[in-house]
Amino acid sequence: MSLALTPARRRTAAAVLTAALLVPLAACGNDDKKDSGSDSGTKSSGSAAPKANLTVLAAASLTDVFATAGAAYEKENPGTKVNFSFAGSQELAAQVNQGSPADALVTADTKTMDGLKSDTGTPSVIAKNRLVIAVGEGNPKKVAELKDLSDSKLKVVLAAPEVPVGRYSEQILDEQKIDVKPVSQEPNVRAVLSKVELGEADAGLVYKTDAATATATEKVDAIKIPDSENAIAEYPAATLKSSKHAKASAAFVKWLSTPAAQKILKDAGFEKP
């Protein structure tokens, strides 16, 4: 019997061989498109940013608004968790200098952030704030303006001068030539507010956003300071070069400037950057 293939048989054999070769190639192509879903920077299915467990160091005055912002970000980015560590900006800087593990930093002033240039990415200002005079509910001491804080009978509490809000307070008092002798100098703005809430101080200088959280619960009243006598606080945000989740950290910092995040900040009383 002859083993020679007829033209028809040759065409059939070639088709079978071609199909056999294409199967493994197609499989390889599918493997190349698989998404690992790891938090090393790969986006997972249905997520707008890389998955990661982020730690963000943030100024104490952002405590309430970042609780809302963090929840919103996690909802937009399933699989990502944002953990905040709040403290005075000078304390946050110390943590960065000591090598505390974290992914991003948000301070209440540009001076503190500028001092950490070797440790951060390029910062961007995400919000602004102003100061008010916090007084007890009903303003029992009848404080009306900044110059009233010089009354020696008034117990005034300020933040320490190395704290951003303390530096802003010192700045506006010096510019108005108002001599204030505080009964204490606190490590952050929330500590100042707490002294007034507890009745341990008659008045204190705090951010308007912090005062708003207390006035909402009728614990303190806020006395507005005219813009001409006030200071503007800027909040820069930046990634930390030591972050183990560089892409996820950058995505969160970028999100803080989006319309969604800016609305949350505005609703809390912060001003546009």
**pLDDT given for residue 148 in this prediction:** 98
Show the beta-strand stretches assigned E in 211-256. 220-224, 232-239
Residue-wise pLDDT tens digits, 160-177: 999 999 999 999 999 999
CB burial of residue 233 (10 Å; 0-12, 13-18, 19+): buried
Fold (CATH) for 53-128+234-267: D-Maltodextrin-Binding Protein; domain 2 (3.40.190)
- Which class is domain 129-232? alpha beta
- Per-residue buried b or exposed e for 178-188, using 16+ beta carbons within 10 Å of the residue's own CB: eebebebbbbb
CA pair distance 264, 10, nearest whole angstrom? 71
**pLDDT given for residue 214 in this prediction:** 85
How many residues make up the chain in this entry?
273
The CB density around residue 60, as the number of other CB atoms within 10 Å, is 25
Token pair 């009354």 in the structure block, residue: 151
Termini Cα distance of the chain: 90
Report which of 110, 177, 179, 132 is spatially closest to residue 151, judged by C-alpha positions: 179
Residues of the chain with pLDDT under 50: 1-47
Q: Where are the domains of the chain?
A: 53-128+234-267, 129-232
The pTM (predicted TM-score) of the whole model is: 0.81
Report which of 232, 180, 174 is spatially closest to residue 201, judged by C-alpha positions: 180
Give yes or no on whether 53-128+234-267 and 129-232 have one common fold.
yes
Continuous H helices in 154-200: 164-175, 189-197
**pLDDT given for residue 49 in this prediction:** 81
**pLDDT given for residue 193 in this prediction:** 96
**pLDDT given for residue 27 in this prediction:** 40
The CB density around residue 226, as the number of other CB atoms within 10 Å, is 8
Residue-wise pLDDT tens digits, 86-127: 999 999 999 999 999 999 999 999 999 999 999 999 999 999
The kind and range of the H/E element at 55 are strand 53-59
**pLDDT given for residue 38 in this prediction:** 40
